[in-house]
Amino acid sequence: MVAKPVEFLVEASAEYEEALDWYFARSEASASKFASELAQAIGMIAEAPQRWPAGPYGTRRFLLHRFPFAVVYRELPTAIQVLAVAHGHRRPGYWKTGL
């Protein structure tokens, strides 16, 4: 099976950039590890999007292992759409308002 392309909503990209900047301000190594873990998560999601638990509105959630973030996404016919790179301890479920 060919992996579908992954598309980030503008808001999800902004969340990623904000988190990356936060880690980078504290430790370049931590920022690098965060970026690497997110890239690995996106690759795994693209290969098997239905592998992670289903949630509301046709979404799924991939939890990062070393960082308190979840990748919230949904599978569309032609792509995987990342809706949020959500911090696990801030504003739970905020991303649902746009669906």
Q: Give the C-alpha separation, 80 to 86, whole Å.
A: 16
Q: What is the pTM of this model?
A: 0.87
Structural domains of the chain sorted by starting position, each given as residue range(s) with its CATH number in brackets: 6-88 (3.30.2310.20)
Residues, the chain: 99
- In whole angstroms, give the CA distance from residue 25 to residue 8: 24
Per-residue pLDDT tens over the stretch 71-95: 999 999 999 999 999 998 666 555 5
Note the pLDDT tens digit of each residue in 23-35: 999 999 999 999 9
